[in-house]
Chain A
Amino acid sequence: MSLVEFRDVHKSFQRDSQRIEVFTNLTLDVERGSFTALMGPSGSGKSTLLNLLAGLDRPTSGSVRVADAEVSAMSPGALAPWRARHIGFVFQQLNLLPVLTAFQNVELPLLLTNLSRKERDERVRVALGVVGLDDRLEHYPRQLSGGQEQRTAIARAIVADPTLILLDEPTGQLDAKSSQEVLGLLQRLNTEFGKTIVIVTHDAHAAERAGVVLHLEKGTLVEAQARAR
C-alpha cells in the first residue's frame, strides 16, 4: 500500500463570484521511501496539493490518505497533533522564527512531544549535525546564510522523525551553490535515512535529484516519470 493515496480529489476555490477549479478527479500515489518532485507552471496546483497532503487544507471532495490515516476526514483539532507526528514541512522562505536561535527553531516540534529536556537537546543536536550546522546552534536566522536557513528548516522538519517530509520550493530563493547543498542534503535524507520526500519545484536541477517526477498542469497530472538514480 502506498504511503500517500489521492483518490478522485476535487478542489475548488471561490474567489469573489468566480469559482476556480484547482483539481478535478486527481488520483496519485506516493510510495514510502520515495523522493518525489512535483513540477508544473504557476497556478497548476502544486502548492495546493502539498497543503492537502499536510492536512493544511481540505479537498472539496475525494479522499486523501497519508500513512493509513484519512486526512481529509480529520477534524482541525485532530489534524494539528497528526501533523506534529507525521509531517515535516519546509517553505520557500521565512521558515524560521527570527527571535529564536537555530537550536530553538529546530526544537519547536519536539516541544509538542513528551520528550525530556535532555532528550530534546540530544535530538536537536543530531538533526543539526545531519544538516551540517552543529556549529551554528546559537545563531539567529539573521546570522545565517540563505542556504543555512533552509538547512536549519530541514533539520526542524526531520527532528521529530516524521513519516513524510514536504518541501515547497525550498531552493527558490537560494543561489546555485546553496541550492546544490540543500538538494544534496535531501537526497542523502532519502537514500541514507530512507525518508519519504515530496518536493514542489520549478527547478529542473532539483527535479533531477528525485526518483519520481510528477507534472501538474491546470490541476491535472499530465506526466509521471520514474527515474533510476
Chain B
Amino acid sequence: MKFLPLVLANLGRHKRRTALTTLSVAAALFLFASLQTVVTTIAAAAQFGNVRRIVSMNATGIVFPLPLAYANRLRAVPGVEAVSWANWFGGRYGDNKRFFGQFAVDPASYLEMYPEMAVPEDQKQAFLREKSAAIIGRRLLDVFGWKLGQDITIQGTIFPGDWTFTIRGVYTPTDPAINDDMMIFRHDYLEERLGRPGIAGWYVARIDHPDNAARIGKVIDDGFRNSRAPTKTGTEQAFNASFATMWGNVSLLMGTIGLAVVFAILLVTANAMMMSARERIGEVAVLKTIGFTDRLLFTLVMTETALITFTGAAIGLVGAKLLYKGTNFNAAGFLPGFDVTPRTFVVGAAIAVLLALASGLMPALRAARLPIVSALRHVE
C-alpha cells in the first residue's frame, strides 16, 4: 500500500492517455458483455420450454400452416391432456420503427396452456368475451403509451388489410425467457376476417408425462403421415431451439467480433503502457539507484496496468449490466430476458486479467531488466 501513491502518480502523469486507455478497455469489455449476452440470451431461449408441452408444426416448415381440423384428432391421442394453437401474424404498427410480435391464438386454451403469461382474471374474461380483443405485454404499454380499452390498428403483411384490435388485457411474464412485448389476439377473429380458411400455424399440446413426449410425438406424426399436411412434432424446447439454431452463425459472429475487439484493445493498452515505460527509462534508473529491486519495479508496472485494465473492465461490465437492466433492453422483443449473466462477468474479469498480463508484461519486464548504467545515460 505504501507504494500506491507512486503508482497513482505515474498513472496521473498523462491523465488524458490514462483516461483514454481506461475507456478503451471499458468499451471493449462493454462490447464483449453485450455480444456475449446476445449469445447467452439466445442459448437461454433455446433452453426454454415446459417439459410437458410438445409442439406440432407442418413437416415442410413452420411457414406452412396445418388444418384447424387437426385439433380434435390431437385431443384424441392418448396422453394428450390439452391442445391449443397459434398463428404468426407479422403485422406492422404505425411507422414500424418498433417491431413487436403478434400471434393469433385460440383464446381460452392458449391462456390455460401458458400460465407463464399472467393475466388478471377480469381482463382474461374480457378477452374471452370480445372477438377483436387483444392482450399485450406490459412493455408495449410503455413503448407506445397504450392504455387498456384503446383501439389499435395493425397493418397486416401476411394477412393484408387494416386490423383493429381493442386492448383488453396486459400480461406479465413469470418466466424471463418469455418476452413482455408480444401481442396475442383471438384466432377466431383471424379466421373470420380471412373467410374461415381453417388454418393454424402450429399446435401446442400438454401431455400427461414428460417421458411420453417422444412416444406421443411419434403417434401424432404417424397419424398425419399420409395426409396432405404431415406434421413434425417435438418438445417445446426443441421447437424453441430450432429458432435458436437460426441464430447459430450470428452467435459465432458475435463471439468472433468480441474477441477481435478485445485483441485490438490489447494492442492499444500494450502500446500505451510501452510508451509510458519508454518515457520513464531515466526515472527507472534513478529508482534502481535508490535501491528499488527489479522485482519491485516489475510489480509496480504490472500494478499500473492492472489498475487501468481492471478499472476499465469494471466500468464496461457494470455499465453493461446497469444499462441493459435499467432500460429493460430486449432488442425489440427478439431477445427476451436480455441480462448480463454472472458467468459473463466472470469471463469478462478473466479477459481483464489476461489483458493486464499481456499488455503489462513487456513494459514490466523491460523496467525490471533495464541495465542501470546504460539507462542512466538517459539521465545524464
Contacts and interface: CB of A to CB of B under 8 A. Distances in A.
State whether these chains interact: yes
Interface of A: 47, 51, 54, 56-57, 76-77, 80-85, 87, 89, 91-95, 97-100, 104, 108-109, 111-112, 117, 156, 168
Contact of B287 (A77, A81, A108): A108
B228 interface: no
A94 B282 contact: yes
Interface in B332-380: 372-373, 376, 379-380
Interface residues on B, range: 20 to 34
B10 interface: yes
Contacts of A95: 286, 379
Contacts of A109: 290-291
Contacts of B3: 111
15 contacts: A51-B376, A56-B289, A56-B373, A77-B294, A81-B293, A83-B291, A93-B380, A95-B286, A97-B6, A97-B9, A97-B283, A109-B291, A111-B2, A112-B290, A156-B290
B288 interface: yes
Given A91-B379, A104-B6, A80 B282 contact: no
Contacts of B373: 51, 56-57
Nearest to B380: A92
Contacts of A168: 380
Contacts, number: 77
A216 B9 CA distance: 41
B336 to A, nearest CB: 50
A117 B5 CA distance: 13
A43 to B, nearest CB: 13
B192 to A, nearest CB: 78
Interface of B: 2-3, 5-6, 9-10, 12-13, 282-283, 286-294, 372-373, 376, 379-380
Nearest to A92: B380
A108 B9 CA distance: 13
Contacts of A93: 379-380
A99 B379 contact: no
B17 to A, nearest CB: 13
Contacts of B12: 99
Nearest to A117: B2
A83 B287 CA distance: 11
Nearest to A91: B379
A84 B379 contact: no
B379 A80 contact: no
Contacts of A47: 380
Contacts of A76: 294
A156 B373 CA distance: 20
A212 B286 CA distance: 27
A93 B290 CA distance: 15
Contact of B291 (A85, A91, A92, A98): A85
Contact of B372 (A56, A81, A97, A117): A56
